[in-house]
């Protein structure tokens, strides 16, 4: 979509990123708990930052030794609920919002009715549908830091700056604020475009034969706009 390209001219969007962004938009549109465009804008801005424009769930980078500071017996590890050797690496950041630690994997898995699956297989947090559920639940319910979207976006308030506290204090808050403001404009433009697409007129009903009840005409659906055009087709071998 032209509005997105104007708002975020760099870096260039790859086919994978385009697909990922449109998938995220589709998920938010189907999410009955996201009824405020500003919530969607801030969630997308968070993903843009946390996933470095990849628009796909990612794993926190670093050698195994880097995550020793999160292991059982360390102050950070204790806060994260890590109790076993290697938990720091096992439960390193994953997904759209980089959930970290045994406690988060366990509690979010239960909240999303996954039982112990996230604890047993943390890589599940990289599946887009699960990564989205983790993000929307955590940001709506305050599961990450105790802060939630409804505290920063109300009928009289739109606080994209301090909303960063939902995920990670005030780290890079101004940058994410700028992303969210631009994303709100993009989403608004997309919504206006959808609203302006006229639904085709009802087709004329055929004249029924004598003694035959007429069938009602079917109204065609209006097309749904996406944020970005679909990625280019892969070249054939």
Instruction: Identify the domain boundary among 126, 146, 170.
Output: 126
Q: Please say if the pLDDT value at position 222 is more than 60.
A: no
Nearest-CA neighbor of 48 among 13, 15, 100?
A: 13
The pLDDT of 201-222, averaged and rounded, is: 52
The pLDDT of 51-58, averaged and rounded, is: 95
Task: Give residue 46's pLDDT.
Answer: 98
| Residues 51 and 137 occupy one common structural domain | yes
- CA–CA distance, 192 with 112 (Å, rounded to integer): 33
One-character DSSP codes across 39-66: HHHHHHHHHHHHTTT--S-EE----GGG
> pLDDT tens, 99-147?
999 999 999 999 999 999 999 999 999 999 999 999 999 999 999 999 9
Task: Give residue 237's pLDDT.
Answer: 45
One-character DSSP codes across 155-169: TTEE-TTGGGGGTST
| Residues 101 and 136 occupy one common structural domain | no
Among the ranges given (11-15, 41-45, 209-213), the one the predictor scored with the smallest mean pLDDT? 209-213
> pLDDT tens, 3-42?
787 888 887 678 899 999 999 999 999 999 999 999 999 9
Question: What's the number of domains the chain is made of?
Answer: 2
Q: Please say if the pLDDT value at position 97 is more than 70.
A: yes
Q: 3-class SS at 27? A: helix
Nearest-CA neighbor of 166 among 57, 31, 44, 43?
A: 43
Do the Cβ atoms of 59 and 99 come closer than 8 Å? no
Would residue 164 count as lying in a domain? yes
- Host domain of residue 115: 58-126
Q: What percent of the chain has pLDDT over 90?
A: 73
Averaged pLDDT score across all residues of the chain:
87
The pLDDT of 163-182, averaged and rounded, is: 97
> pLDDT tens, 61-83?
999 999 999 999 999 999 999 99
| Residues 40 and 142 occupy one common structural domain | yes
Would residue 45 count as lying in a domain? yes
Task: Give residue 154's pLDDT.
Answer: 96
């Amino acid at each position: 979509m032209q509005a997105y390209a104007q708002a975020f001219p760099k870096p260039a969007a790859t086919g994978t990123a385009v697909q990922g962004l449109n998938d995220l938009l589709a998920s938010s549109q189907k999410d009955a708990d996201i009824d405020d465009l500003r919530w969607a804008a801030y969630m997308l801005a968070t993903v843009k930052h946390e996933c470095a424009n990849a628009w796909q769930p990612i794993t926190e980078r670093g050698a195994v030794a880097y995550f020793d500071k999160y292991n059982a017996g360390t102050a950070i590890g204790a806060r994260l609920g890590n109790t076993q050797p290697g938990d720091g690496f096992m439960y390193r950041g994953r997904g759209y919002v980089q959930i970290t630690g045994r406690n988060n994997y366990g509690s979010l898995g239960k909240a999303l009715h996954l039982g112990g699956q996230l604890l047993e297989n943390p890589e599940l947090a990289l599946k887009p549908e699960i990564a989205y559920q983790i993000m929307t639940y955590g940001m709506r319910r305050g599961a990450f830091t105790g802060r939630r979207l409804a505290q920063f976006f109300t009928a009289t308030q739109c606080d994209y700056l301090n909303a960063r506290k939902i995920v990670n204090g005030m780290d890079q808050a101004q940058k994410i604020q700028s992303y969210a403001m631009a994303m709100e404009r993009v989403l608004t433009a997309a919504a206006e475009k959808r609203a302006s697409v006229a639904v085709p007129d009802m087709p004329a009903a055929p004249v029924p034969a004598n003694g035959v009840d007429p069938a009602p005409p079917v109204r065609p659906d209006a097309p749904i706009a996406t944020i970005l055009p679909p990625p280019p087709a892969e070249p054939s071998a």
